[in-house]
Structure formats: structure tokens, C-alpha cells
A and B are shown apart, each in its own frame.
Chain A
């Protein structure tokens, strides 16, 4: 099924916020290298997927997003 672009953007923002809150993701907003940020985020996605026993792909698939949307505790999952 085709992905709705606005929804995809929303999911990306949501995931970024989630990884910032719980996986110590820090986006380099002034970085000229967008790919570096994306790689760093993928690394954090992998970390999150590994924590929850999901398939470790580094990609924001449906299962990963659904897990991120579960009600949870506000403390980070990793030592930071």
C-alpha cells in the first residue's frame, strides 16, 4: 500500500522524539550531513529494537512504531 507522505513525516518526528526521550538520541540540527543524522537515528532505532526483542533492522517499520506508541514509563531505557 502506498505511504501517505504526511503520515510518514509525523511518524518520523514521533520516532525522533521517542528516541531522544528514551535512547539518548541527539540530532545535530546544524549538521550539514543529513545522512549522518539518519545513520545515527538508525543506530538508535536498532538499539530500541534490540531492547524490545524486535527484528533489528534500523528501519521504522510498523511493529517498531507500534511499540513506540505503547503507554510507558518516562525513564530512558538505556543508561545515559
Chain B
């Protein structure tokens, strides 16, 4: 690997980017996704976090242009030079330009250039890496069409970027195992796409201070949010994650940033729609959607998009019923039922939790669905509830999942 003369780098961990325009070769959502995934490659191996801005000046300004485009390095038509980017500094520093005379694609074909691969390379420059003479490295200067499914950053690139920025913060002591592979997902024709609303302010959550990880078997352990993900169960508290999996023994300790570097800690709620291989995270009045490690483009969105009244500024918990395709949202002493097929709140809601869920007379802090049962967590207890009858079966400690 190499760096630029004097090894310029960003002197902060929160770096912003903005996509100034789009190529007509691809859907805008696909461009957004390619760029976001390219940033995730680098954030997954450094302490860096990337936030997208929709207006104003960002550290890394991304644009498509042909021929002469305002700097001293004009593009050259189809082929030849595909893109370039500037090393970290003010002004044009960090900016990445893509030659619009190329045919950009989200595929790896012979008839175009994969935007994710080229963007990942250019963003390496935006972060301070020069070219590598290691054949197969991402920072090798020649375009190499590579399978981008489950693309992993080559070791030379990891070495280079970590020489500049170091490894990610709070790396788990044990190696983090990859999430199970994605199963074929169901698509729902009735799902209406939600308009993404650009925001003036940065899209990152507001980070909070990080206390020490609570002990697994602390009898007073509480959780912010709980969700399943591809057959596993993730328990969230602050920045910490406890991961229980049928594929390995024990409880794995992780952090939110180790899975989703651009999501700040402190979720309010989370749930999985397993048929769509999608998990939604909620914090304050926004929500994000992820698929495995990938944050879906077009997020965050306001929770009002789901049909909450404006008076609801945050939710406490959420859980999805796979059989009925309904998601239950809990806030205060009330709950809503959301139809995932029609993407709308059901009539007659909100209703009082205590009216319908016998034995649950309080707020729900987190909720989980497992093996046909709901588990509602409140403080350091959890309540096992039959989904169909909505009746309480038994009460346990919240950390009974940890084999204490």
C-alpha cells in the first residue's frame, strides 16, 4: 500500500459525504447503495464513521462529470481513466469524481464498470491511501471486475488504512462471526415505496456516552431493544450487543459499531421481517433498515412514515409476527398494529397494552418473537406471551437467554 506525500488524513472520526449528482446509467437508489456500501468497507476496519449530507459542504463531495469538469484533470471519454479522488484536506480535498462517459453499473459485467468497486477504490484515496502495487488489492490502480457479493477488503488495503487510522474501536475480544447467509426473500407486491425525505441536518444519530458493558448475569440487566436476525437473537443496550446463535455456543459480545459502523448506539426498538431479510432499528423519531451488515439506502426515515401521529416522538419496543405479517409497536401504555403487507397502521389503534395482553400492565422496553411466542421485556424481567391468545404464560429474568 502507499499514502500520499506527508500522509494526509482526516483528523476526526466523523466524516461527511454528499452525492452531488447521479449518473443516468443507474437507478439513484442503486447509486446510493453502491456509495454507502463503499463507505462501509472502510468504516468496518477503522474508527471512521460516515454520515451523508443532502445539502451544504461535506468533507467528501461525490459527483459524475465528463471531460473537463472544473479541475486540472479532465476525463478522457469512454475507457482510460474512470475516476479520480483527492486526498484529505479542505476544499476539493476528499472529493471523488466519476467519468460520466463510462457506463456505470451495479453488476460485474463486461459492458460497464461496477460503481461500488470504483467508488470503494476512490474513497480509499479520499481517506488518504495511494495506489498499491499488490495485484488484487482494492487500491491497485487498474480496474478489476470482481464478484462484489460478500466483497471483503483485501489485507493490503486493511493494512494501509489502519496505518492511517488504526483499527475499529471496541473490537470484540473474540473474532466476530459473520451473520448467517441471506435466505431467498419474499417480495410483497402491495408494498408501496416510501418517499425519502432529504434532511438539512446530518443523518447520524446523536451518539451517547459509553458506560462499561453490564455483566451477562447481572440480575438487574435491562435491554434497550431486542431482535432476531437470520435465526440469531441480538440484545442491545447502549453500544453493546449480546448475540445468541444456534450456529455457535455461548453468548458473543459485540458492539453496534462492529456490525453497523454508521449507526450510533442507543436503539429504542428493533424488529426483523424475516421473509424480507430486513431488520428495522428505531431511535427517537427515526428508523433505519438493514439487511445483514448493509444499511439500506434511503434511510433514516421519520417514524411518522409508518403512520404514527406527530405526537409520538419515539417508541419503546417493536416485534413482528411472522404468521400474520403484523408488527406491534409499543409506546408508553399503548400499542399499535402495523400491517407489513399494506404498509399501514391497522384501524382501531392505538390500544392499551393492558386491555389486550393480560398480565402486561406496564410499559414494554423491548420485545422479541421466538418459536411462536412473544417475549415482552420490562426492566429486569421478561414476560412470555402466547401470540394468538395474547395471554401471559410465565415470567422470567431478562437475561434468562444467557444461561446464567
Contact = CB atoms under 8 A, between A and B. Distances in A.
- How many B residues touch the partner, as a band? 20 to 34
A71 B133 contact: no
B253 interface: no
B79 interface: yes
A75 interface: yes
A77 interface: yes
B125 interface: yes
B80 A77 contact: no
Interface in B253-277: none
Contact of A75 (B75, B113, B125): B125
B4 A79 contact: yes
A5 B122 CA distance: 38
Interface in B77-134: 79-85, 102, 113, 118, 121-122, 125, 130-131, 133
- How many A residues touch the partner, as a band? 10 to 19
Nearest to B145: A71
Interface in A62-80: 67, 70-77, 79-80
A53 B82 CA distance: 22
A72 B125 contact: no
Interface string A28-55: 0000000000000000000000011100
Contacts of B85: 75
Given A73-B141, A77-B141, A51 B133 contact: yes
Given A22-B141, A77-B131, A72 B81 contact: yes
B142 A75 contact: no
Contacts of A52: 133, 142
Contacts of A75: 84-85, 125, 130-131, 141
Given A53-B135, A79-B2, A79-B5, A71 B141 contact: no
A74 B82 contact: yes
Contacts of B121: 73
A47 to B, nearest CB: 11
B144 to A, nearest CB: 9
Given A22-B141, A79-B2, A79-B5, A74 B133 contact: no
A30 to B, nearest CB: 22
A52 B122 CA distance: 19
A23 to B, nearest CB: 11
A80 B102 CA distance: 27
A79 B80 CA distance: 21
A75 to B, nearest CB: 5
A71 B144 CA distance: 9
A13 B131 CA distance: 24
Interface of B: 2, 4-5, 73, 75, 79-85, 102, 113, 118, 121-122, 125, 130-131, 133, 135, 141-143
Given A70-B142, A75-B131, A79-B5, 11 more contacts: A51-B133, A52-B133, A53-B133, A71-B81, A72-B80, A72-B82, A73-B84, A73-B118, A77-B130, A77-B133, A79-B130
